[in-house]
Structure 1
Amino acid sequence: MGYPRKLTRRFRAFDNFAISFTIINIIAGIFSSFGFGMAAGGPRILIFGWIGVSIMVLFVGASMGEIASAYPTSGALYFSAGKLAKRHRGAWSWYTGWLNFVGQVGGTAATGYAAATFIQAFIAMQWTDYEVTAQRTVGITAVILLLQALANTYTVQLIALLNRISVWWLFIGMVVIVICLTVIPDHHQSVSFVTHFENNTGFSNGIYGAMLGLLVTSWTFTGFDGSFHMSEETVQATVNAPKGIMRSIAYSAGIGLILMLALVYAIRDYAAEASSAAPPVQILIDALGMGTAKLLLLIVIGAMLFCGLANMTSNTRQIFAFSRDGAMPGSRWWHSVSPRTRTPVKAVWLAAACSIILVLPGWWSHTAFTAIVSVNVVGLFLAYGVPIFLRLRLGDEFESGPWNLGRYGKVVGTVAVTWIVLSSVLFMLPQVSPITTTSFNYAPIALGVVLLIATVWWFATARKRFQGPVSYGRPDEVAAMDLI
């Protein structure tokens, strides 16, 4: 790919799969957004929306996997955009990188915010006089992000080990939760309950409310580009990276559907549970009792913390690679690697700081979580869509890697790009009515600010010096510079 190697190649096939599977994290994704789905479409959208969106995400993942096989680098999306563009390579690469950056930061921030919310729910269950506040949620989120940054500061072997543990935590945790929700309650909803529809978004148009409910599944299925970003640290990356992407999506889709069904059928008092501070927690309490609910909530919190850790790992690799090509302010800082741990330590702390900034509106906004989620979904999926679109424009000129879609590549890519455009527009729209200063979806502002800065910077100076991914020389010259 034209780079001297700085990162150690210690990720095996399972490790590469594990990071995307952990970032997708069905337990964290479903539990953190289930309450929003109860208001925006109800069981009908939670179940059938999960199935439909999962299929669309598989199309996106397959197209991304084909590109990952051809360009297995930490730069991932922005690198491949620069290589696939016929003209204006620097611009395509520049904007893809910035979209990827803001989406990654949104994912890290949203996962930390969700974990903080559920930690407070657990504390309130344990000590009834504890008062849950937005300010405390922001404070706990900041502590979580700082601890995850510390973990990412150490060796890649530690992160790989924690990701392996997280996979089993998710599998075993999901089995325990599903069995408890299936066996313990003395009452379940009827089979036809999956068709029950609710629209409590405040909007009179039921179709619009239902479409907003798709955010539940879309938010869960973000971050599978983690396998792509870890390519430079993965053995046989041209095959293992795309396999990691596809396996993480497919396994998450199947297992997540089972968990979603278990939660939906365990609902008892729909109105009371949907209006509670943490709807899935209230479902656990009503169906299983306080003691069992506390135990399962610890599993959920652990899954969220693992998810945030993997999110930050992927985020830092994107920052490292983008800075390596001089595309971020202070690039020489962010692409430096610790000589002791061989990890991009400064990039880790930049990721943590940016995530903390993004959660600050949660101090006063009660729609902060869904806004951060929208930043994550829209930023990432637009970054996913750009190289897929450019690959479609190349047509037969695209030089595929050993893992490819063959003659189906164009069809799969077209479906992927169409879904990305439609979903991105949807999730930038208002999500709650009436629209006030505290309920406003500030995702368009957050994305707009980043893109405005990127645009001003591009036309001011960057277009003169940034021409896309840098090449350090021929393969033999790069090998002579190899640092490991």
Structure 2
Amino acid sequence: MPEANESAHERHDSPQLTDDEQHLARLGYKQELNRTWSGFSNFAISFSIISILAGCFTTFGQGFNNGGPVAISWGWPIIAGFILIIGFTMSELVSAYPTSGGIYWWAAKLGGPAAGFFTGWLNLIGLVAVTASVAYGCATFIDLTISTWSEGFAADYSLTRVFLIFLVVLALASLLNIFSGHLMAIINNVSVWWHVVGALVIVLILVFVPDYHQSFGYVFTERFNNSGYSDGSTSTATYWLLVVPFGLLLTQYTITGFDASAHLSEETSAASSAAAKGIWQSIFYSAIGGWILLLAFLFAVPNGPDGLPDNAGVGGGGVAYIFTSALGAGLAGLVLFISAAGQFFCTTACMTSASRMTFAFSRDGAIPGSRLWSRLSGARVPANAVMLVAVVSALITLPALIEVNIGTEAEPLIVPTAFYAVVSVAVIGLYLAFLIPIWLRWRIGDRFEVGAWNNGRKYKWMNLVAVVEIAIISVYFVLPFVPQGNPFNDDFSPKFVNYAPVLTLGALLLLTIWWQASAKNWFTGPKSTIDQAVVDVFDG
């Protein structure tokens, strides 16, 4: 073994590796990406992807129409509490294994190659879907902002125009990601303050400008059902067990993507503690800020001509209707602009996270064309992976060009069913990917070697609660959101279909076939990119 000994000797005599690089070497990887991210930057990317200026705005209608204010005022803090528990379990895992592969690496380490393979693909599907959904939401709010300030622009509205803006948003986010990893760290730092200050400005505007505010009784007890299920009833089992859970997609979708702190851990200093804190702190602060923002929306719901809350108007027009009715065009446009800019920050952060996962998964040979997607540019960023994520994001959002009206010709209610389907794919893919390593860590029990940040004995109940919550929401989000999307309904039409189960279950079927026919023979999990002799130097 003279060559191996020489390699270890040469490496040992080279400039001393940092603690982060030594930890990464023990996990089998050499330092390839630039480790220029601070702990704040690591927190910032997850906080930016959660983005209360994105999810709280784009999926507000989902919560409002499916359950009414109670699905938001009570649903948000309850579901956010469960998500925080999920975050704590993942913080413990990233502290032990701070690699760009993140979720899939944990699963492979704890459960073997098959667990890693399926987890990685679920995570990748979820990350691409969340990138697509945020970019499309950003395009929608850019269109709304300009339309609010220009009646002529509003008159020419079309889904095609929104889709073209969506493509521009994807292209700009891709260019920023390709330019420099350090630039993205700076952008995410700016994004945190934009979200904090922007949300505060919006709340203050909604508190002081409207002439009238709804009562606490309305915000915390009002129920209604615009879903089409159960003939609009709010007292049936269907309302509580089907409609309201659909409304909870607002929270579950908004507070996701926090695994970005794990994917950027190879670029973060003191990653075993900084990335762990980045996950749970981004959830915690987003949960508080998002709830305050949503309550401000609900209190600002305008009254209709009859003097009662205009639930139908808000149900059809979403938050934009609240703003234009309560604030006027000028301030409404400002609020929409703050949100649109926040959503652009979110899009760029999603692109960063998805591209790093693509890079890491390709580095281990799991994606067709892996050599291309794992290649780094001169700026040491996975530029090819960025472009792949952008192209796939555009393709899976093509159904958003189909207009879906669940109202009537006289009173249209246009619902972005395709958008909500992409949102569902994002939620299902990401959270199922989270579930696998969380479950495996619970199964291993006290044999798990914890990192600098851990949950102690509390993992025994935290991990189980996390697994159950994820399993339940995954079932709900493959169901049809409106009755017309049910194939057994007399009014069924393909345009109403929630195609999330087609994509997720279809992808799982294809992955299973691929695994059994081929992948199990060559995919062995994470591949070491560093000489084992180097690892032995630090372990010895």
Q: CA deviation at 1:202?
A: 0.6
CA distance in 2 between partners of 1:186 and 1:390 (Å): 54
Residue of structure 1 in register with 2:268 after alignment: 234
Q: Secondary structure at the match of 1:434?
A: helix
Q: Does the 8 A contact of 2:66 with 2:246 survive in 1? A: yes
The 5 A counterparts of 1:401-412 are 401-412=451-462
Q: Which has the larger radius of gyration?
A: 2
CA distance in 2 between partners of 1:272 and 1:416 (Å): 36
What is the aligned counterpart of 1:467 among 524, 528, 534? 524
Q: Secondary structure at the match of 1:139?
A: helix
Residue of structure 2 in register with 1:351 after alignment: 389
Residue of structure 2 in register with 1:100 after alignment: 123
The 5 A counterparts of 1:117-128 are 117-128=140-151
CA distance in 1 between partners of 2:480 and 2:51 (Å): 26
Q: Does the 8 A contact of 2:226 with 2:315 survive in 1? A: no
Q: CA deviation at 1:27?
A: 1.3
Q: Deviations over 1:317-350 (max 9, x none)?
A: 0000000000000000101111x21100000001
Residue of structure 2 in register with 1:383 after alignment: 433
% identical aligned pairs: 44
Counterpart code for 1:43: P
What is the aligned counterpart of 2:277 among 220, 225, 243? 243
Residue of structure 2 in register with 1:368 after alignment: 418
Q: Deviations over 1:414-451 (max 9, x none)?
A: 10001000011111111112222111100011113322
Asked if residue 271 in structure 1 is aligned to residue 311 in structure 2, the reply is yes
Q: Does the 8 A contact of 1:218 with 1:377 survive in 2? A: yes
Asked if residue 284 in structure 1 is aligned to residue 334 in structure 2, the reply is no
What is the aligned counterpart of 2:213 among 183, 188, 191? 188
Q: Does the 8 A contact of 2:149 with 2:329 survive in 1? A: no
CA distance in 1 between partners of 2:64 and 2:345 (Å): 25
Q: Does the 8 A contact of 1:472 with 1:478 survive in 2? A: no
What is the aligned counterpart of 1:332 among 363, 371, 380? 371
Asked if residue 150 in structure 1 is aligned to residue 175 in structure 2, the reply is yes
Residue of structure 2 in register with 1:431 after alignment: 481
Q: Does the 8 A contact of 1:82 with 1:93 survive in 2? A: yes
Q: CA deviation at 1:476?
A: 4.5
CA distance in 2 between partners of 1:256 and 1:250 (Å): 10
Residue of structure 2 in register with 1:308 after alignment: 347
CA distance in 2 between partners of 1:97 and 1:346 (Å): 18
What is the aligned counterpart of 1:173 among 188, 198, 201? 198
Q: Does the 8 A contact of 1:4 with 1:479 survive in 2? A: no
CA distance in 2 between partners of 1:97 and 1:35 (Å): 31
Q: Deviations over 1:183-223 (max 9, x none)?
A: 11121001111210111101112111111000000010110
Q: CA deviation at 1:461?
A: 1.7
Show structure 2 runs of 5+ residues with no match: 1-26, 231-237, 304-309, 405-416, 486-492
Q: Secondary structure at the match of 1:75?
A: coil
Asked if residue 447 in structure 1 is aligned to residue 489 in structure 2, the reply is no
RMSD over aligned CA atoms reads 1.4
Greater mean deviation of Cα atoms: 443-452 or 28-37 = 443-452
Asked if residue 214 in structure 1 is aligned to residue 237 in structure 2, the reply is no
Residue of structure 1 in register with 2:15 after alignment: none
What is the aligned counterpart of 2:104 among 73, 78, 89? 78
Q: Does the 8 A contact of 2:64 with 2:315 survive in 1? A: no
Q: Deviations over 1:56-112 (max 9, x none)?
A: 000100000000001100000000000011xxx111000000000100011000001
CA distance in 2 between partners of 1:471 and 1:230 (Å): 18
Residue of structure 2 in register with 1:56 after alignment: 82
Counterpart code for 2:137: A
Asked if residue 397 in structure 1 is aligned to residue 431 in structure 2, the reply is no
CA distance in 2 between partners of 1:337 and 1:397 (Å): 36
Residue of structure 1 in register with 2:48 after alignment: 22
Q: Does the 8 A contact of 1:365 with 1:439 survive in 2? A: no
Q: Does the 8 A contact of 1:3 with 1:478 survive in 2? A: no
Counterpart code for 2:81: I
Q: Does the 8 A contact of 1:108 with 1:355 survive in 2? A: yes
The two structures have a TM-score, normalised by structure 2, of: 0.86
